[in-house]
Amino acid sequence: MPVIDARHLTAISETALLTLHQRAAEAARPDGIIEDPLAIALRDSLGYDYRHFGRTHQATALRAVAFDNATGRYLQMQPRATVVALAEGLQTSFWRLDNGEMNWLSVDLEPIVRLRQQLLPPSDRLRHLAQSAFDYSWMDQVDPANGVLITAEGLFQYLKRDAVLDLIATCAARFPGGQLIFDSVPRFLSWYSQRRGIKLSKEYTAPPMPFSLTADRYDELRAIRGIRAVHELEMPAGRGKVLSRAAALVYRTRSLQRFRAPTNVIEFG
């Protein structure tokens, strides 16, 4: 792959480099929890000083595996479904999940879509739309005949609550029988990110995260017309015995719901 300068990405778009870097770092480890040679090649083809983001960890790759598992389950039921990846950034999920039949619609802002189109392999089942997820015209591009799964990986936390709830309600009305998968952060982390800022290194502070949601508040989503069910995805086992056991305990204990960052699935009725 050619090397392309990526220093022009800023604000939330720059976070796509952060999450790509985290997945690629995990994929490059011999004991990594995700297999993704394309993520490694993509990271290496972008001119950017990733040391800027501080230390690597497995949390972002674990989140990607949780999304892959849920998407894979949906595709087993509906192999010819359309997957809409909102704010897809530099994800390489299409190639990790491709079953040869699914269709994929990738929606992100123009600078990211340009990089994806320059650097990732084309497919006649992969389309890109360079627009905001809040420009709902992307919905007109989705053929719902064989099922619709919408993913929003690492997006909603950066947005205002009203905008997120309106997007969810509109998807519920437009895609009955479909599903939406998204991750969210607990209230304390949202508060901290806005008051103090989450500083990953001396040079880099992650953008504020105004939207929070935890599993103890799913009734707020169940109250939206067109939503049939909401549940939390199980966190896949991570690397390292102690850490993965501790994480499993946190993710299985009901009384800790409001302290953990869930990956959520909404089923539209």
Nearer to ligand SAM, 19 or 82 (CB): 19
Nearer to ligand SAM, 136 or 191 (CB): 136
* C-alpha neighbours within 13 Å on the C-beta side of residue 3: 5
Strand 82-86 relative to strand 46-47, pairing: unpaired
**For 104, left (φ over 0), alpha (ψ -120 to 50), or beta?**
beta
Residue nearest to ligand SAM (CB): 89
Check if the beta carbon of residue 157 is closer than 8 Å to that of residue 212.
yes
Nearer to ligand SAM, 78 or 91 (CB): 91
Alpha-carbon span 107 to 170, nearest angstrom: 16
Please report whether residue 209 would count as binding ligand SAM according to CB under 6 A. no
Look at the chain and count its residues.
269
CA 96 from centroid of its chain's CA atoms: 14
* Positions in 58-97 near ligand SAM (CB under 6 A): 87-91
Check if the beta carbon of residue 239 is closer than 8 Å to that of residue 62.
no
Please report whether residue 115 would count as binding ligand SAM according to CB under 6 A. no
Please report whether residue 210 would count as binding ligand SAM according to CB under 6 A. no
Please report whether residue 109 would count as binding ligand SAM according to CB under 6 A. yes
Which of 21, 34, 104, 153 forms a contact with ligand SAM (CB under 6 A)? 153
Q: What is the dihedral of CA 73, 77, 79, 82, to 10 degrees?
A: -80
At closest approach, how far in Å is the CB of 215 from ligand SAM? 20
66 secondary structure, DSSP code: H
Nearer to ligand SAM, 132 or 170 (CB): 132
Which of 12, 28, 169, 250 forms a contact with ligand SAM (CB under 6 A)? 12
At closest approach, how far in Å is the CB of 104 from ligand SAM? 13
Tell me the window of 94-102, 142-150, 151-159, 172-180 that interacts with ligand SAM (CB under 6 A): 151-159
Alpha-carbon span 33 to 69, nearest angstrom: 13
Please report whether residue 183 would count as binding ligand SAM according to CB under 6 A. no
Helices (H), 28-109: 37-44, 59-77, 93-97
Nearer to ligand SAM, 13 or 103 (CB): 13
- Binding positions for ligand SAM, rule: CB under 6 A: 12-13, 15-16, 19-20, 87-91, 107-109, 112, 132-134, 153-155
